[in-house]
Amino acid sequence: MDSDFGIPRELSDLQKLRSHHQPELPPCLQGTTVRVEFGDSTTTADPADTHTISRTFPHTFGQPLAHFLRATAKVPDAQIITEHPAISTYHDLEAWWALSSVGRQSPGGHNVIWGLYDAIKLHNPKSTLLGFLGGSEGLFAKKTLEITDDILSTYKNQGGYDLLGRTKDQIRTTEQVKAALNACKDLELDGLVIIGGVTSNTDAAYLAETFAEANCPTKVVGVPVTLNGDLRNQFVETNVGFDTICKKQSLLLGDCMKTDGFSLHTGQFTANQAMCALMLSLLRSLILIFQKLLTFFSFQYYYFIRLMGRKASHVALECTLQSHPNMVILGEEVAASKLTLFDLTTQICDAVQARAEQGADKNHGVILLPEGLIENIPEVYALLKEIHSLLRQGFSADNISSQLSPWASALFEFLPIFIKKQVLFPSNFSHKRH
């Protein structure tokens, strides 16, 4: 994605109003005095994985957990930090996502830059915050932009990653890791912040281990910014952007499911406002007419709405709790129950029939699907696995059906033509199931 290179933007009235909002900091991060308590050593969620993780991350695994405390906390062993030397932190905004994903933008990315800038300036005004332009490509090429108040002014509380841009590349190969290490050493960075989801933070963990092994002083920090909401544990309550995405999606879903029409409050009017009252009355009549037409035309269909969530169905589940659609199919439940295409089709048809039996006014509905649902259907997953195994071996997509196993070929031929074209794209399959 291209970057605006920090050029001030023209904002609408709504964007200007939104830019004035000041997010509230938690008590433990307010002020310049940092109070921290070091707790137990880090461990794995599953004890069976401890040996593998400790061998993979010998320099960073087992570090003590740091708990930041509010000013009024009474903890005898807490360390209090009041002096903050000037630091020069380069901020990398690219969201590195896994395999087939191109790395989608998420709300809150610009606010992470804003919060980081305010924090380092509060602790020491001489500190400098720079951003890598173009994500990992900017990191490797040492292409930077210094963040200032003027640059941030039109990006505060605004969505997107326009300020610095991003790329879909991961920092995973040996060459990429070496390039990142050399960039941090050459630029003498104190900190490198990586924004993104599971893959991005996995890359951050590997980078931190590599930096520790190479005695590089740069500290690597990962910030969980992902609309999928799949980077959660006992230490990460939610992901930056997830709440905004779910509320916005639920608002749109609610519009699709409205059955009680529009409401308009006219209020009390004085004699001088009689004309205004008349206009509002006419407007209400027009809205009611429009509602009747909308009800007649829209309440004869079922809307299948695909929501974001390739590996996890968290967005679909949260939107279901907020908007109450008629049906939702969760990828995790499909995989756990080993439901087939026939099973899912039967469930949907049964639900449609059950609503129709309740009356003619029930011949409509909204059904939510996570975008990664298809990979959670066992038979389809096996088909995709065969197809992309053959594609990696160099077989032509035009004659792929003849190379498949009998059952996979039968399923492939059963699919509509436009679905066949989609499953033949290597980027549409991740080769992994979680």
Any idea what the CATH number is for the domain that residue 104 is in? Answer: 3.40.50.450
Q: Tell me which DSSP letter residue 132 carries.
A: E
Lowest mean pLDDT among 27-36, 177-186, 343-352, 376-385: 27-36
- Which of 33-37, 207-211, 285-289 is the least confident region? 285-289
Q: Please say if the pLDDT value at position 405 is more than 60.
A: yes
151 with 183, same domain: the answer is: yes
Mean pLDDT within 113-130:
86
CA distance 27 to 37: 15
Whether 80 shows a pLDDT value over 90: the answer reads no
CA distance 67 to 79: 10
Q: What is the mean pLDDT of residues 300-305?
A: 85
Residue 419: predicted pLDDT: 85
Residue 238: name the closest of 92, 107, 333, 354 by CA: 107
pLDDT value, residue 294: 57
pLDDT attached to residue 265: 37
Residue 4 lies in a domain: no
Q: Which residue has the higher pLDDT, 361 or 169?
A: 361
In this structure, is residue 69 part of a structural domain? yes
pLDDT band at 246 (very low <50, low <70, confident <90, very high): very high
Cα–Cα nearest to 366, from 336, 408, 332, 325:
325
What mean pLDDT is reported for the chain?
80
Q: Give 204's contacts (C-beta < 8 A, 6+ positions apart).
A: 194, 220, 221, 222
Question: Is 430 buried (19+), middle (13-18) or exposed (0-12) by CB count in 10 A?
Answer: middle
CB atoms under 10 Å from CB of 114, counted, come to: 21
Same domain for 54 and 182? no
Single pTM value for the model: 0.78
- How far is residue 208's CA from residue 187's CA, in Å, rounded to a whole number? 17
Q: Is it the case that residue 320 has pLDDT exceeding 90?
A: yes
- In which domain, by residue range, is 420 found? 377-428
Q: Which of 410, 340, 374 is nearest to 100 (CA)?
A: 374
Q: Say if residue 62's pLDDT is above 60.
A: yes
Would you say residue 60 lies in a domain?
Answer: yes
CA dist 92 and 137 (Å) reads: 10
Q: Which residue from 80, 84, 59 is spatially nearest to 69, judged by alpha carbons?
A: 80
pLDDT digits 0-9 by tens, 151-195: 888 899 988 788 888 776 678 888 889 998 998 888 888 888 888
Q: Is residue 360 one of the residues assigned to a domain?
A: no
Quote the number of domains for the chain: 4
The answer to whether residues 107 and 202 belong to one domain is yes
132 close to 94: Cβ distance less than 8 angstroms? yes
Quick one: pLDDT at residue 128? 85
Q: What is the pLDDT of residues 13-55, one digit of tens each?
A: 988 998 899 998 888 888 888 888 888 888 888 889 999 999 9
pLDDT of res. 434 = 44
- Residue 143 and residue 187 in one domain: yes
